[in-house]
Structure 1
Amino acid sequence: MAAEFIGRRAELAMLRKRLDRVAESGSGSAITIRGRRQVGKSRLVQELCDASGLPYAYYTAIKGASLPEATGLFLAELKSSGLPADREAIPETVSGWPDALRALASALPETPSIVVLDELPWLAEQDEAFDGVLQAMWDRLISRKPVLLLLLGSDIHMMERLTSYDRPFYGRADNFVLPPLNVAETGQALQLEPAEAIDAHLITGGLPGILRSWPRSTPPTEFVKAECADPATPLFGIPESTLLAEFPSPDHARRVLEAVGSGDRTHAAIAATAGGIPSGTLSPLLQRLINEKHVLAQEQPLSTSPGKPALYRVADSNLRLYLAVLRSAHDLVLRGRTDAAFRIFERRWASWRVRAAEPLIRETLGLAATSGMLPWPDVEAVGGWWNRQFDPEIDLIGADREPVAQRIHFAGSIKWLESSFDQHDWASLQRAVSALPGWDPTRGELIVVSRSGLAPQLDGSGIGLAWGPEEIVETWRSG
């Protein structure tokens, strides 16, 4: 299993830099770390605590705990930690969080230390005044000691609110969003070749909580087949728990998310599938799911002219796969129909993968462009283009800016199938770009990203760039 700590070099370096700053200044520094469930926030912070060799206290809030229970558990954790010089000086009980945080301040040593408050939104649920108390105790007592305070939470919107301008803790913490592992880190964790590493990344979303259950060197389809015999596997449980936590009731938001997850991409199609939600309700709801919940992503057609319509997709590929495929399979697994569950996955996997790979490939080319790895130094935006009829629909556009470009540097096609990119695909791409606003064949080049390479009979002399799985993984390894 992929149980050891993988990747996170940049994230650990950032946290170590903050620790160095604490040691140099002799005063406290605070960071909020947010990210979706099972993305590895707690594991990252624990790795920092272990590697630093510094005294630390790690408290994880419990959802639904009463205020006396929460503060009592906090004090017990503080007493058993490496912070206090005199453990007997830590009280057993206090009247509330002000006294609990005063106890923390008194326990902090005069040398650098680390304090972690995990699942912070649950503390805010228990006590509406918690962030105000935290601000007061931080300003008056805690920040005067050389401590790195790490505030963790999976409720992204609530974590954002903690440090927004109208909240007490505003301006007192750096904000950091922990992303999933990238595709190179996924491949490293599972010891898979590039093509299978990309498949594994699409299945897991790069979530360590799922990767830990994946035996090394196991091909993706074999892993899914084995998991279909386990109704409690993280492959099903993690996306299901995300849905239950973020959308506990079947309201409009849940219906819209499920419509997008089933494959509806346009405003009109989502409205119809979700039960005819009026446009005045659907539009702000979509923006809330994008900007607050961060479960949807919106894409605009990229060219030298404004374009419509906008397209929507589930932002996380694991949740996207669950809504489109794995939820139906899980229902069968729960009924003991393991073989039927895996057949559903087999039938839907190839077509689902075609669409799911597109945003990853665009993001990869965008990373390559900003890292100077592409032959077009002026490319700053990578997207796709389509018209209202989706005929044609061009997978890749590289431009100088978005959503309305001044110049298009490349256009291209993604073929993420077992068959290679052939003469028919090449002819289709050449026809499609003739409809692209701003396309100049004398200044722009055509590119191809193919899972199975170029067909041997294809004359590739007109292809400005041809990438496969190896280049995608290497970009993330080097970027």
Structure 2
Amino acid sequence: MFVGRENELRLLKGLFDLKKATIAVCAGRRRIGKSTLIQQFGRDAKTFLEFQGLPPREGISPRDQLNAFSDQLAQQTSLPKLNLDSWYQAFSLLNSIIKTERTVVLLDEISWMAIRDKDFAGQLKIGWDTELKRNTKLILVLCGSVSSWIDENILNSAGFVGRISLKLTPEELSLFHCNKFWGRQAGRVAPNEKLKMLAVTGGVPRYLEEINPNLSAEENIRRICFSKEGFLFSEYDQIFRDIFSKRAPIYKRILFTLVQGSKSLSNVAGLLKRERGGDLSRYLEDLSASGFIAKDLVFEPGKKNTSKFAKYRLKDNYIRFYLRYLEPIKDKIEKGLFRDFAMEGLSEWETIMGLQFENLVLNNIRSVCALLAINMNSVRSAAPYFQRTTQRKKSCQIDLLIETKFTLYVCEIKFRKKISKAIIVEVQEKINRLKLPKGYTVRPVLIYVGELSSGIEEEDYFDRILDFDKLLSNP
């Protein structure tokens, strides 16, 4: 099912108007729909050719990758399968069949193609400069999940300076588009039931495709998570093995430190008993580039620059759900001993759900701004806010702080069965602690799932109160 991605498609289609050969890069999390996006875009071309790298495995060689490329080229064209000696030869052969018509060529999982071949990127550059770029109606799309490889070998490489016309990093689908995966039943399924499902899948299209609208959220989650045959039961090991290979265990250890909430670099280093810089910083950047975590920078209200303080947040709902609930009982699930359960009975369920709901909101800031009638062009910053204790101010943490010119929207994101009036006192205390620039208006906002206690709306404290259903129904 293909939904959303209108902006990405618009940007890709705009490349046809450049009247020259172009290179586009599409990077990001596995299963986020990168390949599907480019395949959809390829429908606008007269010719669409797709080549995929072989997944990493023990003993795989550059020769294996070249043979796979030759196989795919033969299957999609009139060329016979040929033995290729180099990637330059492969790209030259590809160039020989490109005609003077709109053509899109997708090199998918490009870092896999380059396994154990340090000259791959260099030969691609030579092939582009000497042959491929002469085709003025060609769009070459380099796609991959190992974003660190793409950054190092393509985007930040001297060889490709000035050659990349577009870089795309597809994010999770908006809640509005997630809602479409319930099909005709979307209007009959309660928002709370959808939230249970999205607490596992997030807005990842491939995971959303596993939803059976005829089943309840708990039935769906049992089927795809708590069964050894379930798609999401083995998904974690597969994607981390494919992306990070032998380094996967250290990335898992880092992610475990973030399961219970955001942490600073010092917090993560302390929990892992490692130095703050060096490898740890690079590993965190890899996880961020791959779409699993977010580095939330603190924008000081009224100032143009960010502070030096930042926190890392596990932004991927599936990864948190897997590490908290599936990883510890993998053996039981494989033996079929964990099939009948209630979601609310899972340990720390309400706390974890609160973090998952917060992720969904933070991944849909555009929708939040639209519901608050905030023009995105006027937004100076929109992110979680952390204020540390100093001699002059107390610590303060705000789930989402949106700053426009002379206005701060203090957004409290709350998941709770029953939300009491005490939330008004809690939010006001945060505002009291917040160091406010002169002349700024403060507008408290409540974004929630659950039941509001009587009196919250009557108090007229919050400028806006947004329930989860509004996010699901707002484009």
Aligned partners of 2:371 and 2:292: how far apart in 1?
Answer: 27
Counterpart residue type for residue 394 of structure 1: I
Counterpart residue type for residue 197 of structure 2: A
In the TM superposition, what is the alpha-carbon distance from 1:153 to its structure 2 partner? 0.9
The match for 2:37 is 44
Counterpart residue type for residue 222 of structure 1: E
Match for residue 260 of structure 1 among 243, 246, 258 = 258
TM-score where L is the length of structure 1: 0.83
Aligned partners of 2:388 and 2:101: how far apart in 1?
Answer: 63
Match for residue 127 of structure 1 among 111, 117, 122 = 117
Match for residue 129 of structure 2 among 134, 139, 146 = 139
Aligned partners of 1:226 and 1:364: how far apart in 2?
Answer: 28
Aligned partners of 2:329 and 2:296: how far apart in 1?
Answer: 29
In the TM superposition, what is the alpha-carbon distance from 1:466 to its structure 2 partner? 0.8
The match for 2:6 is 9
Q: Kindly tell me: are residues 341 and 150 of structure 1, through their superposed partners in 2, closer, same or farther at Cα, counting changes over 3 Å?
A: farther
Aligned partners of 1:152 and 1:93: how far apart in 2?
Answer: 25
Question: 1:366, 1:381 within 8 Å by CA — same for their partners in 2?
Answer: no
Q: Kindly tell me: are residues 278 and 99 of structure 1, through their superposed partners in 2, closer, same or farther at Cα, counting changes over 3 Å?
A: closer
The match for 2:468 is 469
In the TM superposition, what is the alpha-carbon distance from 1:446 to its structure 2 partner? 1.9
Question: 2:173, 2:203 within 8 Å by CA — same for their partners in 1?
Answer: yes
Aligned partners of 1:415 and 1:202: how far apart in 2?
Answer: 14
Matches of residues 342-357 of structure 1 in structure 2 within 5 Å?
A: 346-357=346-357
Counterpart residue type for residue 170 of structure 1: V
Aligned partners of 1:110 and 1:442: how far apart in 2?
Answer: 58
Question: 2:225, 2:232 within 8 Å by CA — same for their partners in 1?
Answer: no
Matches of residues 8-407 of structure 1 in structure 2 within 5 Å?
A: 8-18=5-15, 20-21=16-17, 25=19, 27-49=20-42, 51-52=43-44, 54-63=46-55, 65-82=60-77, 87=78, 90=80, 92-145=82-135, 146-173=137-164, 174-191=166-183, 192=186, 193-216=190-213, 218-244=215-241, 245-246=243-244, 248-249=246-247, 252-263=250-261, 265-274=263-272, 276-280=273-277, 284-285=281-282, 287-289=284-286, 292-300=289-297, 303-304=300-301, 310-339=310-339, 346-365=346-365, 368-369=368-369, 373-374=373-374, 378-388=378-388, 393-400=397-404
Question: 2:316, 2:359 within 8 Å by CA — same for their partners in 1?
Answer: no
Q: Kindly tell me: are residues 8 and 216 of structure 1, through their superposed partners in 2, closer, same or farther at Cα, counting changes over 3 Å?
A: farther
Counterpart residue type for residue 31 of structure 2: Q
Question: 2:181, 2:211 within 8 Å by CA — same for their partners in 1?
Answer: no
The match for 1:404 is none
Q: Which runs of 5+ in 2 are unaligned?
A: none
Aligned partners of 1:154 and 1:376: how far apart in 2?
Answer: 29
Further displaced range: 162-171 or 300-309: 300-309
Aligned partners of 2:145 and 2:459: how far apart in 1?
Answer: 47
Counterpart residue type for residue 398 of structure 2: I
Aligned partners of 1:250 and 1:364: how far apart in 2?
Answer: 29
Residues 190-224 of structure 1, C-alpha deviation per residue, up to 9 Å, x if partnerless?
Answer: 24454444443331132222222221254433321
Further displaced range: 298-307 or 148-157: 298-307
Q: Kindly tell me: are residues 339 and 149 of structure 1, through their superposed partners in 2, closer, same or farther at Cα, counting changes over 3 Å?
A: same
The match for 2:432 is 434
Counterpart residue type for residue 433 of structure 2: A
Counterpart residue type for residue 437 of structure 1: K
The match for 1:451 is 449
Aligned partners of 1:333 and 1:288: how far apart in 2?
Answer: 33
Counterpart residue type for residue 70 of structure 1: Q
Question: 2:362, 2:383 within 8 Å by CA — same for their partners in 1?
Answer: yes
* Overall identity of the aligned pairs, in %: 18
Aligned partners of 1:267 and 1:68: how far apart in 2?
Answer: 41
Aligned partners of 1:374 and 1:381: how far apart in 2?
Answer: 12
Aligned partners of 2:169 and 2:415: how far apart in 1?
Answer: 30
Aligned partners of 1:345 and 1:130: how far apart in 2?
Answer: 51
Question: 1:31, 1:175 within 8 Å by CA — same for their partners in 2?
Answer: yes
> What secondary structure sits across from 2:14 in the alignment?
helix
Q: Which runs of 5+ in 1 are unaligned?
A: 402-406
TM-score where L is the length of structure 2: 0.84
Question: 2:262, 2:314 within 8 Å by CA — same for their partners in 1?
Answer: no
| C-alpha RMSD of the superposition | 3.3
Question: 1:446, 1:462 within 8 Å by CA — same for their partners in 2?
Answer: yes
Aligned partners of 2:200 and 2:22: how far apart in 1?
Answer: 37
Aligned partners of 1:367 and 1:382: how far apart in 2?
Answer: 12
In the TM superposition, what is the alpha-carbon distance from 1:468 to its structure 2 partner? 0.8
Question: 2:27, 2:169 within 8 Å by CA — same for their partners in 1?
Answer: yes
Aligned partners of 1:270 and 1:156: how far apart in 2?
Answer: 22
Counterpart residue type for residue 99 of structure 2: P
Q: Kindly tell me: are residues 468 and 143 of structure 1, through their superposed partners in 2, closer, same or farther at Cα, counting changes over 3 Å?
A: same
> What secondary structure sits across from 1:163 in the alignment?
helix
In the TM superposition, what is the alpha-carbon distance from 1:435 to its structure 2 partner? 1.7
Aligned partners of 2:223 and 2:31: how far apart in 1?
Answer: 21
Aligned partners of 1:214 and 1:68: how far apart in 2?
Answer: 39
Task: Report the structure, 1 or 2, having the larger strand content.
Answer: 2
> What secondary structure sits across from 1:116 in the alignment?
strand
Equivalent pairs counted in the alignment come to: 456
Q: Kindly tell me: are residues 170 and 372 of structure 1, through their superposed partners in 2, closer, same or farther at Cα, counting changes over 3 Å?
A: farther
Aligned partners of 1:290 and 1:221: how far apart in 2?
Answer: 29
Question: 1:261, 1:314 within 8 Å by CA — same for their partners in 2?
Answer: yes
